[in-house]
A and B are shown apart, each in its own frame.
Chain A
Amino acid sequence: MSTATYSTSPFTPAPTTDSSEEQLLEISMGPQHPSTHGVFRMNVVLDGEHVVKLKPIFGYLHRNHEKIAENETYLGSMPYTDRLDYLCSITNNWGYALAVEKLAGIQVPERAEYLRIITGELTRLQNHASLIGFLLQDMGSSGTPLMYAFRERERILDLFEELTGSRMMCNYMRFGGCRVDMPAGWLDRAKKVVQEFPRFLDEYEQLLVGNEILMERTQGIGVLSRELAINAGLSGPMARASGVSYDVRKVDKYSLYERFSFRVPLGAHGDVYDRYMMRFLEMRESLKILNDAMRDIPPGPIVDPKMRIRGFRPKPGEAYGRIESPKGELGFYLISDGSPNPYRYRVRPPSLINLTVLEDLCVGLNVADVVAILGSVDIVLGEVDR
């Protein structure tokens, strides 16, 4: 390892005249790099092929979400939350709705809770399916795995379109319930999708789980220790792959999750392979919840009848609502001053916080491993930059 210092400027480091020293090279990965899942940029300092230092640079997709929300009515922010993590809009809606319901003390009818659980778990399925597709795509198995994953994701998006009118920007939750009830025949089609989903999982495990090249590239790469995962405040599949048993669905028991029996899978190594397998295991647990929820869904109203859509003014106070989004703990913190718009609106984005350990995972590894590690973190830049 060389002793050369490198320039802290974002530009090319000053060339060293001493030819005996190895030179460090500072390169900018992104924001248009296809492996960065959007407009994420990393300033990577390389010694040959090895990463010496890595600096993530955010903000290319900053849209001022939190400040806009302070000037909108409470309901007006709901469609904007769709655009945070644009792969799973329904869980974003849910987190925000939960925070407002806590703030105003609104009760949600039972059927609406079931609808929320069904759509939320379907969101988890399609997010994890597309994530493993993207991860494999990043590692060079171009096309096939991603297309298989997207084929399954399409079926779930078709269900969302039929239910909410939109494939990705669902805008489905309302304070005290959901916006629309299931159309006729939707539940049967959803059951069919859920019944056929294990076939896809088996097929996918057959396809690449035992693949020697994949194992070579992911096992022992990007190891995240349990201590670091806890100290850095990570959540979601990323923390669970490192053996941290933390799932907001179990911890908070929000909504009706305590009625369903599901297990929280834990990883043993905390490497990229564990994070990859974690998604398969979580999908299988989600399918259990979905089967139970679709069997037991009761009839009834889907929204609190006392809740009016206009003129919503919660009492002054503050509330933090959090849910287990597919990427981790998604929290919304709201302060109300009694006016129709929130005084303060803050999002705790799981992607951003899971990304903070990126440098610790990458240092000492090759550039190609950085791509695999970043893929396994599961980021969506709409949520990181907000």
Chain B
Amino acid sequence: MVGEGILKGLAETARNFFGSYVSKDRLTTVQYPEERLPQIEAARSFPFLVYDGSDWQQGMRCVACQICEKECPPKCILIEKSKDKKPDAAGKQQFYPAVFNIDISVCMSCQICVEVCPFEAIKMDVQYDLPTDDRFGGLLLHKQQLAKSNEYYNAIHPTEAAAVDAAFAEGRAKVEAKAKAAADAKAATEAKLTPAPQPQPAGGESR
């Protein structure tokens, strides 16, 4: 019969229309500004710099090695290495980025900077409401705007951040154990050589 196919199709439309009042899974629209979907852990928008502790300048993990600057496919990162060194959160003397800019109008959120960073210093943010009326200055993020605490990182990517923190703690424990062993050995040899009591040597990199 001519028109049968059309009627079948209309019946299907009607079933969907009325079905949306009955079954929840047929209703997929989210009323965006009032209602938001839960944040997904793997989500990524733009990079930020992680710092440990409370002072963003003191605890910045970035040591200005410029690997992310070289590897960034659209070249949206600008880093200037500092002339001097200052202690990082672990107390080690390190270079630091005198300038660290990310132009988020160029960034394509590919996460390659995160993957190549050997210091776990640059991570992906999940913030997406970033409109500005200044299309040049407003989209060029500086070091201070990029710096975000490790607590924030733990809040947005809990699984990943926990793994990073565990690896850091392990590394620190290893360094401490090594320094302690070295100090003990040194103390022992010095004690053997000079029986007189000597001031204990400094504990290397241990904290």
Residues of chain A touching chain B, judged by Cβ–Cβ distance below 8 Å, are 72-73, 75-80, 82, 144, 148, 151, 154, 161-166, 169, 171, 179-180, 183, 203, 206-215, 309-310
Contact = CB atoms under 8 A, between A and B. Distances in A.
Contact of B6 (A80, A164, A211): A211
Contacts of A80: 73
Q: Which of B2, B40, B67 has the most CB of A within 10 A?
A: B40
B71 interface: yes
Contacts of B41: 183
B8 A148 contact: no
B116 A309 contact: yes
Contact of A206 (B8, B26, B44): B8
B16 interface: yes
- The 4 tightest CB contacts between A and B, nearest first, are A210-B5, A79-B110, A165-B42, A76-B73
A70 to B, nearest CB: 13
Interface in B36-55: 40-44
Contact of A166 (B13, B44, B72, B112): B44
16 contacts: A75-B112, A151-B26, A162-B42, A165-B42, A165-B43, A165-B44, A166-B43, A169-B110, A171-B110, A171-B111, A207-B9, A210-B5, A211-B9, A212-B2, A309-B115, A309-B116
Contacts of B12: 203, 206-207
A213 B10 CA distance: 13
A82 B111 CA distance: 13
B204 to A, nearest CB: 30
A215 B200 CA distance: 92
Interface of B: 2-6, 8-9, 11-13, 16, 26, 28, 40-44, 67, 71-73, 108-112, 115-116, 124, 159
Nearest to B4: A210
B73 A169 contact: no
A47 B129 CA distance: 52
A162 B116 CA distance: 22
Max chain A C-beta neighbours (<10 A), residue from B4, B9, B110: B9
Given A169-B109, A310-B71, 13 more contacts: A75-B71, A77-B73, A162-B40, A162-B42, A164-B42, A165-B43, A166-B43, A169-B108, A206-B8, A206-B9, A210-B4, A210-B9, A309-B115
Contacts of A162: 40, 42
Contacts of A309: 115-116
Contact of B116 (A169, A179, A215, A310): A310
Contacts of B42: 161-165, 180, 183
Nearest to A163: B42
A165 B43 CA distance: 4
- Report which residue of B4, B12, B41, B72 has the largest number of chain A beta carbons within 10 angstroms of its beta carbon: B12
A207 B10 CA distance: 7
B3 A212 contact: yes
B28 A151 contact: yes
Contacts of B26: 151
A212 B5 CA distance: 6
Contacts of A310: 67, 71, 116
A161 B2 CA distance: 44
Nearest to B43: A165
A165 B111 contact: yes
A285 B38 CA distance: 33
A72 B73 contact: yes
A82 B43 CA distance: 17
Contacts of B109: 166, 169
A207 B13 contact: yes
Nearest to B29: A151
A161 B112 contact: no
A310 to B, nearest CB: 6
Contacts of A207: 8-9, 12-13
A295 B40 CA distance: 25
Of B2, B41, B73, chain A has the most CB atoms within 10 Å of the CB of B73
A49 B203 CA distance: 89
B44 A79 contact: no
A151 to B, nearest CB: 5
A207 B5 CA distance: 8
A356 to B, nearest CB: 30
B159 to A, nearest CB: 8
Contact of A144 (B13, B108, B116): B13
